[in-house]
Every structure is written in C-alpha cells, then in structure tokens.
Structure 1
Amino acid sequence: MNNELNFRSAFKETLPTVLGYIGIATTVGIIGKTSGLSIMEVVLTSLIIYAGSAQLIAINLIAAANPLYTIVLAVFLVNSRIILMSTTIAKYFHKESLLKNIIIGSLLTDESFALGISKLNYTQGKLNFEWFNTVNLISYITWIISTALGALLGQFISNPQKLGLDFSIVAMFLGLLYLQVISDKSLKKSLQYIIVFLTMCLTYGSLIILPSNLVIITVTLIGCSLGVLLKHVIQ
C-alpha cells in the first residue's frame, strides 16, 4: 500500500482480495446451481444481495420455497453488521454528496471495509470517493463474474466442498488481518494481539450458544467494546 488515493492505487491494492472473491463467489455460484436455481437466478443473487453468507442463506431458503419475508429478514440479520461498518466509514465522506455516500455504502463489504481501514494507516487518516469507489466496483464486478462462472461450473460439479474453495474467504481475511496488524503504528502490537485472541475466543463461544446468523454482529459489538476499554487501559 501507499499514500495515494486514486484509481491506479485502488486497482493495485484490490487485486489481492480479488483472488479471495473469485474463490468464494465461484463456490456460491456452484452451490446455487446445484441447489436447483437457474444460472440467471444465481447471478441475480449477486447483483441484488451481493454478500457471500447472506447469498448462501437466501439460496437455501429459495430452494426450500420459503416465503419472501423470511428470506428478506434472514438476509437482513446476517448482513446487519454492514450498518456498523458504514457508520464507521461515513465520517471520512461527510464532505461528499448524499449520492456518493449511498454509492459507497451500497457496495461496502467486509473486505473493502478492511482494505479501507488498512489504507488509513498510509494516508494520515484520509479516504476519498475515487479510491473507495474503485475498490468497491472492482470487487462487485469480480463477484458477479465469478458467481456466473460458478453457476456454469455447477452443471458439472456436484460437491463444491471437496475442492476446498470455501476456505478461500478465510485465507483472504487472514491476509487482511496480517496487513492491518503490521501497518497500524497507532496501536501497540500487544494490544492488537490481545484483541485478536479475545475475538477468537468470543467467536468460538458464540458459535456454541448463539444462532449462526447472530455470531458476527454479537462478536463485533462485544469485541469493539473490549477493544476501546483495553486501549484506554494499555495505552
């Protein structure tokens, strides 16, 4: 990463995450096709929903002929964490128009959020529309194309888990976490390691006692609160 906030910089810095998008979106496409959806229906889930875990839930609910309100509610709950991320990012675009803020928020993902937070370490805490919108658009287009490719492959693959493609999203986030830790000079490394460890413990415990669709939002809220508290104690 560098301190430039332009199209060229955004394109180069988004490429590593694109590989993760290709793997997980292809898997979504394969699962969608093997669940009984048509190629067009699978692609529409990416165009409209654009969220890996939420898409998989929606695909399963659609395949099971669940009512529309159930599908909408499930997708909202799973993706509600984006509200927190949008609130965090919004302060860097308060001088931009409402339309630009809507565009940024509509295409925001876990990966683009993480990339943006990492970028702040190189730009003295600044972001702009050109850089972030480029990141979002590259990610969105890659996701749609990869989903379509997965749907086409789904005609010949019966069990996508055997290929290990579902691990690509985990690998991508491990890479983003590593880049965040080594580039953030404003926080002590010991504090970052403690928060990572506590988040892992919270995630493990939440998976045992909470429904899977509430784990991410719960861990995010508790983890952020603990992070703020520990920051004041340690620093």
Structure 2
Amino acid sequence: MLGFVPFALVLGAQAAAKGFSVVEVPLMTGLNFGGGSEFAAVELWTSPPHILLIVAITFLVNSRHLLMGAALAPFIRHLSKKQAFLALFFMCDESWAIGLADAKKSGAGLSLGYFFGVALGLYFSWIVFTTIGASLGPVLGDISRYGFDMAFPAVFLVMLAGMWKGARSALPWLVSLLVAATTYLLIPGAWYVPAGALSGVFSAYLLARTDA
C-alpha cells in the first residue's frame, strides 16, 4: 500500500493538470482499477476526448489481465460465480501476485479473506491517494521531478524478485522484455503490452515442453 502512494499522487496530479475534477479522479480510479491504463488515458486526454482511442488503449494496456485471470482460474474454481467475479474486479498486479502465491503455498485455492484483505487495502489506498494527488496537484506542480514516478517500476521489480526461481525459469521474462521493448520502439501505441505478454507465455510454453 505504501508503494501505491507515490505514483497514485503522480496520477492524481497529472489528471488534475488535464482538467479532471476532484470528483472525477476517484470515479476513474475506482471504476477502472488499473493504474497503467489510467496513466495512458490521462496522457491521451484532450478536450473533447478521443473516446474510442482511449478505450482501445485501455483495452491493450489491461490485456495482461486476460493472462493473469487465466493463471488464477484453477485456484478460484471452488468459489461461486459471484465471489469469483468480485475477486476479479478487485484484482490488480500486486493483489494477483500475492493472492496467487498464497493459493499455491496453501494448496487449498484462493483464500477470499486473505485476498480481499490485500486487494481492498490496495483498492482504497489507490482511490484515496489519487484523489489527494488531484487536490494537491495545482499546488505541487509537476511532482514527477521529485522522483515519485520511479515508484511504479520499483513495485514491479520487487514483485519479480519475489517470483524469482532461477535464471532458467526467468527466460520467458527476458523474452517478454526484449519483445516488448522492440515493439515499443517500432510500433506506436500500447501494442508492446500484449506483444510482451503473449511472447512471454509462448516462450514459457516452449520451455515447459523442453523440460518435459
């Protein structure tokens, strides 16, 4: 939750600079609980906004959730559809990683109490601090000059460190990184997100077949 604070403030401040009100910011961050797509939407925001472009970019950036949901599927089969859909709504990168690790460790599937303890704390932290960022943005100006935007990649680096199982198991990460970086340099837009995700999954599949 502490890791959420800096880049939540950055997003709120950037949204305020684009004309979002203090009411509109928590509506955006609460209804679309996906930080990467919200940064992309704010970056593309104009007056009037290009709605179809923003929707398309949001879908591309959030496309990683398709793979995250698929990875979580075997661990939520014991849940009712209502419980499963509610858990998936509150799923973000961090709650997914923590919840999946706990489910694998316990062997009893996803624990709703544990998962929602993590997910709801992250959800409300995100909403509260993006709202604070929107409120203080006009006063603080460009807060990325303080290095707050570094918190976003730092959180993901910590998550990767927690998932480290050796160099061979991390080969799909390297493939995903190289494909995503190449796509980012060559193709405009957010196509690097699905390209990196799909290439990583495909390389993991090939690695698993080789090991078998």
Please report the TM-score for the alignment, with normalisation by the length of structure 1.
0.82
Amino acid at match of 1:32: A
Find the aligned partners of 1:125 and 1:171 in 2 and give their Cα distance: 31
Aligned residue for 1:19, secondary structure, equals coil
**What is aligned with 1:132?**
115
Aligned ranges 1:91-106 → 2 under 5 Å = 91-106=74-89
Aligned-residue offset at 1:121: 4.8
RMSD: 2.0
Aligned-residue offset at 1:225: 0.9
CA contact (8 A) 1:51 1:109 kept: yes
Aligned residue for 1:96, secondary structure, equals coil
CA contact (8 A) 1:29 1:146 kept: yes
Counterpart selection for 1:88 from 67, 71, 75: 71
Aligned-residue offset at 1:67: 4.0
| Residue-by-residue CA offset, 1:200-233 (whole Å, 9 max, x unaligned) | 2222212112334121111111111101211332
CA contact (8 A) 1:90 1:101 kept: no
Amino acid at match of 1:97: S
| Residue-by-residue CA offset, 1:151-174 (whole Å, 9 max, x unaligned) | 122021221221111110111111
Counterpart selection for 1:209 from 165, 186, 203: 186
Amino acid at match of 2:59: F
Counterpart selection for 1:165 from 127, 138, 148: 148
Aligned-residue offset at 1:198: 2.5
Counterpart selection for 2:47 from 64, 69, 78: 64
Amino acid at match of 1:23: P
Mark the runs of 5 or more structure 1 residues left unpaired by the alignment: 1-17
Aligned ranges 1:6-17 → 2 under 5 Å = none
Counterpart selection for 1:116 from 80, 94, 99: 99
Mark the runs of 5 or more structure 2 residues left unpaired by the alignment: none
| Residue-by-residue CA offset, 1:40-68 (whole Å, 9 max, x unaligned) | 11121111112222112322444332243
Counterpart selection for 2:21 from 27, 38, 42: 38
Q: How many pairs were matched up?
A: 212
- Range that drifts further, 134-143 or 203-212: 203-212
Aligned residue for 1:192, secondary structure, equals coil
Find the aligned partners of 1:230 and 1:99 in 2 and give their Cα distance: 36
Amino acid at match of 2:119: N
Please report the TM-score for the alignment, with normalisation by the length of structure 2.
0.90
Find the aligned partners of 1:61 and 1:210 in 2 and give their Cα distance: 17
| Residue-by-residue CA offset, 1:22-55 (whole Å, 9 max, x unaligned) | 1111110011112222111112111111222211
CA contact (8 A) 2:60 2:190 kept: yes
- Range that drifts further, 84-93 or 215-224: 84-93
Residue 219 (str. 1) matches residue 189 (str. 2): no
Amino acid at match of 1:58: A
Aligned-residue offset at 1:120: 4.1
Find the aligned partners of 2:23 and 2:56 in 1 and give their Cα distance: 23
| Residue-by-residue CA offset, 1:170-198 (whole Å, 9 max, x unaligned) | 111111111111xx5xxxx2312333333
**What is aligned with 1:231?**
208
CA contact (8 A) 2:175 2:199 kept: no
CA contact (8 A) 2:78 2:109 kept: no
**What is aligned with 2:137?**
154
| Residue-by-residue CA offset, 1:110-138 (whole Å, 9 max, x unaligned) | 22222233334532373222222222111
